[in-house]
Amino acid sequence: MGVIINCKHLRLFLFLLWAILALSCKDNTVAVQEPEPSSEYTPLRSVAPFPVGVALQSNRLSSGPHSQVVRTVFSSVTAEYEMKMRHLTDPSGNYVWGPTDALVAFAKEYDMQVHGHTLVWHQSTPSWLENFSGTDAEFEDAVEDYITNVVGRYKDDVVSWDVINEAFEDGSGALRNSVFRRRMGPDYIARLFQYARNADPDVLLFYNDYGTIWDAAKRDAMFSMIDDLQTRGIPIDGIGLQMHITYNTPSLNNIVAVMDAIVQRGLLIHISEMDVRVNPQGDLSELTTGRSELQKQRVKDIVMAFMDLPEANQFAITWWGLRDPESWLIDFWGNPEWGLLFDAEYRPKPAYDGFLEALTEN
Ligand code: 9MR
């Protein structure tokens, strides 16, 4: 028996379709059903004696659960990418402040501190600077202007900046041959720090890198740079240890040895980009209880080691993302990975308990 659709049915159908769409859309975005975060756990910020941070992308602030967990649990934020040069300026060199202004406003509203990341990074050089057609002196003026503008804009809101990120090569510790090194000469790092200090006498200035725990040449290069800056009275306040590690490497002893060497130099320590890979060999297709417990112990050990440092040297611990599926680790390593404190459903993992236990049992 055939179905006859007359005009009246069609109008009713179209009206219902419109009503459903209108209810599920806001600002042209189809609303995605998101899990509700649980509130039955202790927020890290309520017990940590130092700032606990998280890397954030401004587009995720529009997600209710995401922003709720961030502001409840953490007391510091870092832009995961939006405060880098290639994002703070467009290809012609005009400033793009929208996303970072939004992040800073969010942090202010919820009483969180902001760590600025990063003024200079060879992997985020915008094309207007990479292909700069003026003289070397004009290039340096442009870099100084940039630092003055960016640090100056957030003078009242950003407490600390990574002045330069990852300046040394893996394996050799040689200064990377970036456009900054080529156009400003081998002493360019000292001048970047000085420009940042001139822009804000109070902001804390960091050198940030990965691999300084397990790569001896890179570590030596970093400490030589620090010693040189300090001998010459160039301002530097702290070191960011990125802490992209796995559940079983590097050893805690090696981590502690590097932290001690930083303490000996009177600098602040920022565990600046923490995540703990549990699947470095790619043998897991889902997170097992066993690996999860190893991750928990690893987090606990590191937080305890950080808390054993003299208080004057403890700057902060920052997680490089909130939920496992949002982490850069998955694309970068090409394995399923669960490196962070929260799972896809915004549930705190055993690693979260490890962090809490270190804070409360110490
Ligand atoms: O996690 C960040 C990713 O979302 C960005 O696309 C990428 C490029 O801006 O940077 C990633 O963060 C890096 C950080 O800035 C410096 N240390 C290594 C981090 C992972 O690549």
Is 165 close to ligand 1, i.e. is its CB under 6 Å away?
yes
Q: Given this model, what pLDDT does residue 24 score?
A: 41
Out of 273, 286, 326, 361, which one is annotated catalytic? 273
Give the nearest ligand 1 atom to 57 CA.
4
pTM for the model stands at 0.91
Q: Over the stretch 307-337, which tens digit does the pLDDT of each residue have? A: 999 999 999 999 999 999 999 999 999 999 9
CA distance 280 to 104: 34
Instruction: Label residue 122 exposed, middle or buried (CB < 10 Å: 0-12, 13-18, 19+).
Output: middle
Q: Given this model, what pLDDT does residue 5 score?
A: 47
Give the residue from 178, 247, 242 showing the smallest Cα distance to 209.
242
Residues in the chain with pLDDT values less than 50 = 1-5, 7, 18-19, 21-31
Is 84 close to ligand 1, i.e. is its CB under 6 Å away?
yes
Is 273 close to ligand 1, i.e. is its CB under 6 Å away?
yes
CA distance 102 to 207: 25
Instruction: Label residue 8 exposed, middle or buried (CB < 10 Å: 0-12, 13-18, 19+).
Output: exposed
Q: Is 166 a catalytic residue?
A: yes
- For the chain, what is the total number of helices (H) and then of strands (E)? 14, 11
From first CA to last CA, the distance across the chain in angstroms is 77
Q: In terms of DSSP H, where are the helices of 54-126?
A: 64-73, 85-88, 98-109
CA distance 19 to 101: 36
Is 86 close to ligand 1, i.e. is its CB under 6 Å away?
no
Place of tokens 């270190």: 358
Q: Given this model, what pLDDT does residue 9 score?
A: 61
For the chain, give the number of residues: 362
Yes or no: say if 54 and 77 are a contact pair by the CB < 8 Å rule. Answer: yes
Structure tokens at 288: 């097992």
Q: Given this model, what pLDDT does residue 4 score?
A: 43
DSSP string, 261-295: HHHHTT-EEEEEEEEEES-TTS--SS--HHHHHHH
Is 318 close to ligand 1, i.e. is its CB under 6 Å away?
no
Nearest CA owner, ligand 1 atom 12: 80
Out of 166, 286, 326, 345, which one is annotated catalytic? 166
